[in-house]
Amino acid sequence: MGEANLAEAIGWTPPAGWPAMTRDEARARLTAPGERFEMETVDIRGIPTRVWKNAPPNLRALMMVARTHGEREAFIYEDERVTFAAFHRAVAKLAHELRERGIGKGDRVALAMRNLPEWPVSFFACVTIGAICVPLNAWWTGHELAYGLADSGTRILICDDERWERIAPHLGDIPSLRHALVSRAAGELPAPAEHLESVIGAPMTWAGLPDAEIPAEDIAPDDDATIFYTSGTTGKPKGALGTHRNLVTNIFSSGYGASVAALRRGDEPPQPVHKTTLTVIPLFHVTACSAGLMGLVAAGNTAIFMRRWDPVKAFEIIEREKVNATGGVPTIAWQLIEHPDRDKYDLSSLEAIAYGGAPSAPELVRKIREIFGALPGNGWGMTETMATVTGISSEDYLNRPTSCGPPVAVADLKIMSEDGERELPVGEVGELYACGPMVVKGYWNKPEATAETFIDGWVRTGDLARLDDEGYCYIVDRAKDMILRGGENIYSSEVENVLYDHPAVTDAALIGIPHPTLGEEPAAVVHLAPGSHASEAELQAWVAERLAKFKVPVRILFTEDTLPRNANGKILKKDLKGLFDNPVAAG
């Protein structure tokens, strides 16, 4: 079905006079000399690259902006409220502490905790002194966390008590680690751990810390800032090495998208107004950290964190705090829409529900507008692009409900043939390549993987996509062997390797099966060795002991024959999906 027919199918027709401006006209106005979104071309690793001229030069400069927001609330977590002034005081105190413990430019400081006010404090304390922050997936097992710590060469770990309990048994596997500052831990802590509160206090006491300056450091825009881990389709997770420019680019990319939408509607670009956001996706994702937290700090907006996602608690928070925006992944939007208690709460403050990171149904676009009166938004990016490359919202999204939008003004997209030798014309499906100031330097200590993925300023995304004649992008398939469960990447080979380790399993394949709110979930098909036996529950427990819970197959089917393969020996996974419609008897 074409996009026009899809828009009509979800009950939307463009209003008279829309769009009031073409995208090219909007871009020309917004990026004109002297305008907020003016661009300039700079050399990034030998590649001439368009950048936002007015973006902060680094994250240290961004923290100086945050300080000016003073007594405005920055973070709310349960009954804890932290102002921007208190936030800056805690960042400065922790930054000095890191310096005193020998952390300098380029040293790695890892961060492993749930969404707490201590998370952004720890992040900015690292990056403002030139250290590299390594945000680790808080859902990882102790073994997975230890790998990230060892691979990055982390010297200091800042974590919460739950993550410390997972990591502590693996200290022997992390030779670089010298100190661990643990938040919200009860009782005494064994060396090398100590209470984070002994350094900066609890969040509600930060306002009483000295109003100190952050230690001086000369930081260039393209200096190293972060290592976010992203699993490859083979082998161990890879650390994407991000720069200060990568992160600050998102501040203007998000604002640019909102301004384009306003101009196309016939309005003027919105003036900065304080907003309150319910942040429900983990800050260890580039979506929440780069696309969310950076803009929030720049604008002086308020972020509310939840201990764990719960739709009713979200309703209560939205009503009480007059939340303006939320989202993150389609799952969140669906649960807000479908919950039977929704009508019991005043959700009229919601202005936008935006998401990325997982497939979404066109119907979701309509329901967000119809039920909440809020503007739907979507975008595309990846860890290797530090989040935002494309964006689409408002009327444009209603008009093209299966698109993830066109690239922002500083980014470019192209569709390449399978061999990477030829750029394909408009409308043809091929591999999506992206370039711009948001693309990371490469993979930490993995030169071969870097050379394969990053080519002359372009990142090979592994996603199959097409572009239309106005530059709107449509993702038609995703990276090989990757499953997206509610925004979490699950790489098939990682789970398959664990299944193969079971003594009864001789053949295994992981595929994604549809789920109405998560997008898809992992499911496995296995073949057992003759004469051996294993149940679905046994194999699920086997995986759960070795990998994060979200990677455990929700269903496992058994086949009497080995799995179907092509001439090259690769399993034909597309032939396996039908088994879950007509299940083979389990062994």
Here the CATH number for the domain that contains residue 561 is 3.30.300.30
Instruction: Identify whether 558 is part of a domain.
Output: yes
Question: What mean pLDDT do residues 388-406 have?
Answer: 92
- Give the CATH number for residue 306: 3.40.50.12780
pLDDT in tens, 119-153: 999 999 999 999 999 999 999 999 999 999 999 99
Q: How confident is the model at residue 566 (pLDDT cuts 50, 70, 90)?
A: low
**Residue 519: what pLDDT?**
87
Q: Which residue has the higher pLDDT, 571 or 447?
A: 447
**Residue 587: what pLDDT?**
40
pTM here is: 0.87
Q: Are 51 and 290 in contact (CB under 8 A)?
A: no
pLDDT in tens, 76-102: 999 999 999 999 999 999 999 999 999
Does 81 lie in the same domain as 42? no
pLDDT in tens, 152-176: 999 999 999 999 999 999 999 999 9
d(CA 54, CA 344): 44
> Which residue matches tokens 């002991």?
545
Last residue of a domain, one of 219, 252, 274: 219
Q: How confident is the model at residue 365 (pLDDT cuts 50, 70, 90)?
A: confident
Instruction: Identify whether 586 is part of a domain.
Output: no
Q: Quick check: 568 pLDDT over 50?
A: no
pLDDT in tens, 13-24: 888 999 999 999
Q: How confident is the model at residue 235 (pLDDT cuts 50, 70, 90)?
A: low
Instruction: Identify whether 202 is part of a domain.
Output: yes
Instruction: Identify whether 227 is part of a domain.
Output: no
Give CA separation, 181 vs 55, 158, 163, 204, in Å: 32, 5, 11, 18
Does 487 lie in the same domain as 371? no
Range of the structural domain that residue 113 is part of? 60-70+77-219
pLDDT in tens, 270-303: 888 999 999 998 999 999 999 999 999 999 999 9
Q: How confident is the model at residue 570 (pLDDT cuts 50, 70, 90)?
A: low
Long-range own/partner contacts, residues 368-376 (CB < 8 A, 24 or more apart): 368/333, 368/337, 369/12, 369/398, 370/11, 371/337, 371/342, 372/336, 372/347, 373/348, 374/350, 375/261, 375/351, 376/352
CB atoms within 10 A of CB 74: 24
**Residue 91: what pLDDT?**
98
Closest of 352, 329, 330, 359 to residue 474, by C-alpha: 359
Q: Quick check: 11 pLDDT over 80?
A: no
pLDDT in tens, 471-515: 999 987 665 667 888 888 787 777 887 898 898 888 889 999 989
Does 207 lie in the same domain as 137? yes
Q: How confident is the model at residue 233 (pLDDT cuts 50, 70, 90)?
A: very low
d(CA 257, CA 387): 14
pLDDT in tens, 450-476: 999 999 999 999 888 899 999 999 987
Does 382 lie in the same domain as 347? yes
Last residue of a domain, one of 442, 477, 512: 477
Q: How confident is the model at residue 567 (pLDDT cuts 50, 70, 90)?
A: very low
Does 50 lie in the same domain as 161? no
Does 355 lie in the same domain as 489? no
Does 473 lie in the same domain as 348? yes
- Give the CATH number for residue 178: 3.40.50.980
Does 435 lie in the same domain as 321? yes
Does 104 lie in the same domain as 205? yes
Does 386 lie in the same domain as 520? no
Instruction: Identify whether 236 is part of a domain.
Output: no
> Which residue matches tokens 């429900």?
280
Does 164 lie in the same domain as 121? yes
Closest of 456, 459, 431, 432 to residue 443, by C-alpha: 459
Instruction: Identify whether 229 is part of a domain.
Output: no
Does 349 lie in the same domain as 391? yes
Instruction: Identify whether 224 is part of a domain.
Output: no
Q: Are 81 and 207 in contact (CB under 8 A)?
A: no
Q: Quick check: 68 pLDDT over 60?
A: yes
Instruction: Identify whether 201 is part of a domain.
Output: yes
**Residue 586: what pLDDT?**
40
Helices 492-501 and 536-544, packing angle to 10 deg: 110
**Residue 328: what pLDDT?**
80
Q: Structural domain tally of the chain?
A: 3
